[in-house]
Structure 1
Amino acid sequence: MNKRNLKILRDYIIGWIIAIAFWVVMRSYGVTVNAPATPEPVHALRLVMIFGPLAGILFGLAQIKIERNLYRRIPLWRLELFGLISNVAIMSIMFVLAFFMIKNTFDFNEPIDFWQFLRNPSVILVFFYSVLVNFVMAILRQINLSLGDGNLWRLLRGDFYTPRVENRVFMFIDLKSSTTIAETLGHIRYSQFIQDCFFDLQVVQQYGAEVYQYVGDEVVLSWKTTPVMDYSVCIKAFWAFQDQLSKRKNHYITKYGQIPVFKAGINKGDVTSAEVGEIKREIAYHGDTMNITSRIQEKCNYYDRLLLVSECYYDKISHQNGYVHELLGEEELRGKNELIKIYAIDRA
């Protein structure tokens, strides 16, 4: 299981532990109800620690399956129907386990069978609560994807309200021969072609990449730097994307008659991050680092190379094996008055 899926499971497990703990506290110390059982605090804690992770894993796996196999493939109403069916199936498993756990641990307030247990108003309320919790978590998941992975929590903390300086690596990835391909395919099929390409781009999440922006047939990836960062993950992410496209070349040839090839420029440096916009809000990065990265990517066609990097990024990976490095020269990039050393990177 890749890092992306593990993060989904982690978020769902944490979310469900909180949700079940909240439910147990509210039903224990809130309004008195005709519940089928009244657990002692130690048993209530056991319920939380068992059913929280279990619900998180089951609902998390369902979300992973939906994102992997169903998004972009079925209408929204069928997607919601699948989610509801998954909810019923998972909660059925949970209710069976809960019934036998209660029966064998602290027993019910009065003798009941499983069907009486299911018809209890408190159990029915638990089911609708689970639907609500899963709906909220799915919405939060979509908001997080829209903002960029990890940015939802940073937004809630107010990190972007005041502009702040961050040190980041940026990679601008652009489709080669995009104009020719667009003219060949036409607007609709070209858009479908780009959709398929960017669907395959999800492989870069295994290398910690954040998708900052999609602009036409270009995508901007970003990594926040740390003192112990392995800077080669950026290069690995690019080649993993190229390999993923190559694996699906039969699909692209059959459907579009084209094999997509992308070129990229990488740079590292300080940028200013801030939340911008009123009509439509988004998180934006500003600074020379962004401009230089874009200009480096534009030089790929000039040098006929797929991957070019700046000197400051090259210094971070120059000691690593497995790559062929070549200094192409010093360029005065468009809009800049200083010379920038540009290196080509290829696989050994």
Structure 2
Amino acid sequence: MSSQFTALQRTRFRLYLRILAVSAVIGAAYGVMIAKDEVSRLAGSLSGVVNAVLIAGSIAAIEIFLLREDSSMNRLLRVPFVVLVAAKTLVYSAIVVAVVTGPARLGRPLDAYTEMVTVGFSIAITAIFVITLQAASLIGRRTFRDLVLGRYREPRAERRFFLFVDVVGSTAIAERLGALDAHRFLAAVFSATAEPIAACRGEIYQYVGDEIVVTWTEIEGKPEARPLRCYFDMKAALAARAAEFRARYGAEPDLRAALHLGEVIVGEVGEQRRAIVFHGDVMNTASRLEHATRDLGVRFIASADALHVLGPTQNMVLTDLGAVALRGRQEPIRASGIALRN
């Protein structure tokens, strides 16, 4: 795939191709199922593939590429949820009917009953697909995948990097802008930093107020010192849109962050609402390190544990901060301030 695509675009395109592949398999299977004899099975499977790819390709393109926060059609996402669902139902049903009853069919025409069943089946599969995409977007695709596969049904220990990123001065910005515009400001910051996080293979664990928590397994984070690079790439993404933020909100966003590595317990919790959560001292330590940046006068701090695994970084300058005493923690932790080399 062309290198000019961004990490998020590549992720979306891979998802699109997977949806096309799955839909083709479902379409072929359905075409064989409704075939009335051996001769029509091949034509039925081919017709099923064509119909499924046309339907899934059209609807997936709308869901994945058009209806996004960073697209020109993002205003459609601001309408009430019921209105959005109703509009999607009408548009997607029209696509299904147009494809199933249209001229793209291969082989003999379907009888009225089979055509009606095919339309109903296609709409049902489309509904499942849209609901799945919506659920995955709400909790994150990796979390959704892990919940579906039951990866953390039984808790397990993992060594993970945690990057706690805080928006500098957000309280003062909120007081000046008011609650609604402050929310829009933070939403714009989170949207602008999504691309560098994806490029560094980070997983957004949660948004907490004005804070983003990004995580990597030790294996995923080690190549190219991804957690370190992620912070500076996030700052660069915001700097590239500084004029836009200044014009709209009267402020240019900046970030402070802390990175730590350690063992956490990962597992599913909850009954009415399932979630995958992390428990362990590494979370508390990373959070307290982030708070310590204010007292230490640095924007980015990383523990010695994290830096030892990530190894030397050619384009970064490390300032040894010694043993840093953290609030609520008896033992100090060795850490360094991190800055880009001029």
Question: Which range, TM-score by smaller chain?
Answer: 0.7 to 0.9
User: Which of 5, 27, 39 is the aligned partner of 2:34?
Assistant: 27
Q: What is residue 112 of structure 1 aligned with on the other side?
A: none
Q: Which moved more, 1:180-189 or 1:258-267?
A: 180-189
Describe the SS at the equivalent of 1:267: strand
Q: CA deviation at 1:158?
A: 2.5
Distance 1:4 1:79, change over 3 A: farther
- Asked whether the 8 Å contact 1:269–1:289 carries over to 2, the reply is yes
Letter in 1 for 2:94: V
Cα distance in 1 for partners of 2:220, 2:214 equals 20
Q: What is residue 60 of structure 2 aligned with on the other side?
A: 60
Cα distance in 1 for partners of 2:59, 2:148 equals 24
User: Which of 218, 221, 224 is the aligned partner of 2:217?
Assistant: 224
- Asked whether the 8 Å contact 1:168–1:270 carries over to 2, the reply is yes
Q: What is residue 254 of structure 2 aligned with on the other side?
A: 261
Q: What is residue 122 of structure 2 aligned with on the other side?
A: 130
Cα distance in 1 for partners of 2:304, 2:259 equals 10
Cα distance in 2 for partners of 1:96, 1:232 equals 53
Q: CA deviation at 1:88?
A: 3.5
Output one character per residue of 1:39-70: Cα deviation in whole Å (capped at 9) or x when no partner: 64444444555555555444332212112422
1:13 corresponds to 2:14: no
Q: CA deviation at 1:140?
A: 1.0
Distance 1:150 1:181, change over 3 A: same
Describe the SS at the equivalent of 2:306: helix
- Asked whether the 8 Å contact 2:200–2:230 carries over to 1, the reply is yes
Q: What is residue 301 of structure 2 aligned with on the other side?
A: 308
Cα distance in 2 for partners of 1:39, 1:246 equals 63
Identity score, percent: 22
Letter in 2 for 1:315: H
- Asked whether the 8 Å contact 2:266–2:276 carries over to 1, the reply is yes
User: Which of 172, 186, 193 is the aligned partner of 2:164?
Assistant: 172
Q: CA deviation at 1:5?
A: 0.8
Cα distance in 1 for partners of 2:297, 2:92 equals 50
Q: CA deviation at 1:257?
A: 0.8
- Asked whether the 8 Å contact 2:256–2:293 carries over to 1, the reply is yes
Q: CA deviation at 1:213?
A: 1.2
Which consecutive residues of structure 2, in runs of 5 or more, have no partner in the other structure? none
Output one character per residue of 1:295-338: Cα deviation in whole Å (capped at 9) or x when no partner: 11112222332221111211233323222222222112222222
Output one character per residue of 1:173-232: Cα deviation in whole Å (capped at 9) or x when no partner: 111112221221222221221122122232122322211111111111111232794152
Q: Which moved more, 1:155-164 or 1:205-214?
A: 155-164
Aligned residue-pair number: 327
Q: What is residue 202 of structure 1 aligned with on the other side?
A: 194
Q: TM-score, normalised by structure 1?
A: 0.81
Letter in 2 for 1:136: I
Distance 1:50 1:172, change over 3 A: same
Letter in 2 for 1:184: R
Cα distance in 1 for partners of 2:212, 2:221 equals 26
1:320 corresponds to 2:321: no
Distance 1:10 1:341, change over 3 A: farther
Distance 1:51 1:270, change over 3 A: farther
- Asked whether the 8 Å contact 2:259–2:302 carries over to 1, the reply is yes
Describe the SS at the equivalent of 1:226: helix
Distance 1:166 1:201, change over 3 A: same
- Asked whether the 8 Å contact 2:301–2:336 carries over to 1, the reply is yes
Q: What is residue 271 of structure 1 aligned with on the other side?
A: 264
Distance 1:48 1:343, change over 3 A: farther
Q: What is residue 113 of structure 1 aligned with on the other side?
A: none
- Asked whether the 8 Å contact 1:167–1:271 carries over to 2, the reply is yes
Distance 1:279 1:319, change over 3 A: same
Q: What is residue 292 of structure 1 aligned with on the other side?
A: 285
Q: What is residue 140 of structure 1 aligned with on the other side?
A: 132
Q: What is residue 151 of structure 2 aligned with on the other side?
A: 159
- Asked whether the 8 Å contact 1:276–1:283 carries over to 2, the reply is yes
- Asked whether the 8 Å contact 2:235–2:254 carries over to 1, the reply is yes
